[in-house]
Structure 1
Amino acid sequence: MKSAIPILGFSAYSGTGKTTLLRQLIPLLKARGLRISVIKHAHHHFELDFPGKDSYELRKAGADQTVICTTTRMALITEFDAPSAEPDLQQIIDMLDTRRVDMVLVEGYKDIHFPKIELHRATLDKPFLYQNDPSVIALACDDSPPEGIKIPVLDINDVETIANFIYTDFYSAA
């Protein structure tokens, strides 16, 4: 991934708590003075607005792109003709205004190689990802890590320690 600012992913199987962890990490990173951008990959259809709102009606009338803008927020909605038109992660990163943020956190895209923290919960009984992904820079888990692991191991339930790792070992080192 090419970017003017650091990009850090959170990789895990569904149900591990990626969004929950990010919701807890963002305020801690912001308290350290970081401006954060988040990219979340979804495997399902979503709506940002709803019937009866002008932006929704303009989109449903056939607009290929719709920008909704107020004094405090802006959203760009792009319609794709086919699922294959979904932009790749690099294209999404290129759309960001990196002058407004210090770091990009990415939820998902576990099959793409860029620095990421793997989240692992023993109760899900899923294999570790780091063993086949050299771009995993740390493992956050709730059980004992495998013997011989060569990357930092963090307690997935210790959000402060994870935030410190991100700020000190990843962001400041970038």
Structure 2
Amino acid sequence: MTQHIFCIIGKKKAGKTTFLEKLVPELQKLGLTVGAVKHDAHTFEMDVKGKDSWRLKQAGAETVVVSSPERVAMIQSVDRERSLEELAETLLADKDVVLAEGYFNSDQPKIEVFRQEAHDHPLCGRNNQQSKKLIAMVSNQSVAVDVPKFGLDDASEVAVHIARKYYGWVYSGMWATHD
């Protein structure tokens, strides 16, 4: 199955993470494997000061991997920010769907989450929806865009939209891929 990347975009406090929390299990219910990437425009620390992995990184290790029976985490120094496509190809190659929070300027298809309580207008409208590759709008308000519109609680419908549009899936009592 071909991997597809979708960027979940929206302004700060629009509800992107909340929507992603709903969308991930809905895609999994359809049998798709899902990976996620969170974009952070700032430097961040994932490790806890004083823990062994933090100490090894502070000692100069360029890459530190923490492994347990249930998880693997990697902290790696990089000379440049990796593109979304590079991250998907190298770290998430085994996933059918990669959901990226952010990456407004990437060339990947986008789903915008918009709540009018948080902002006056969405990032995408009719003037830029094609150039930004907007494929859906998730909102509690009517938004002037020419793409499918979904409510904030319609994650299952968004998952179906993705399965139909990007995987050619059809529904006739049960989901099946269309080959």
Supply the distance in 2 between the matched residues of 1:25 and 1:97 (Cα, whole angstroms). Answer: 18
Partner of 1:155: 151
Alignment partner of 1:113 is 2:123: no
Output the aligned Cα RMSD.
2.2
Partner of 1:89: 84
Alignment partner of 1:165 is 2:161: yes
Would the alpha carbon gap of residues 33 and 11 (structure 1) be closer, same or farther in structure 2, given more than 3 Å must change?
Answer: same
Would the alpha carbon gap of residues 32 and 127 (structure 1) be closer, same or farther in structure 2, given more than 3 Å must change?
Answer: closer
Instruction: Measure how far apart 1:168 and its partner are.
Output: 2.6
Residue from 18, 24, 36 that aligns with 2:22: 24
One-letter amino acid matched to 1:166? I
After TM superposition, the score normalised by the length of structure 1 is 0.84
Q: Which moved more, 1:14-23 or 1:116-125?
A: 116-125
Larger helix proportion of the pair: 1
Superposed CA offset, 1:86-137 (max 9, x none): 12222222222423x2111111001112111112222211344143142111
One-letter amino acid matched to 1:9? C
Segments of structure 2 that go 5 or more residues without pairing to the other structure are 170-177
Identity %: 33
Would the alpha carbon gap of residues 9 and 60 (structure 1) be closer, same or farther in structure 2, given more than 3 Å must change?
Answer: same
After TM superposition, the score normalised by the length of structure 2 is 0.81
Supply the distance in 2 between the matched residues of 1:153 and 1:171 (Cα, whole angstroms). Answer: 20
Q: Which 4+ residue blocks in structure 1 deviate beyond 4 angstroms?
A: none
Segments of structure 1 that go 5 or more residues without pairing to the other structure are none
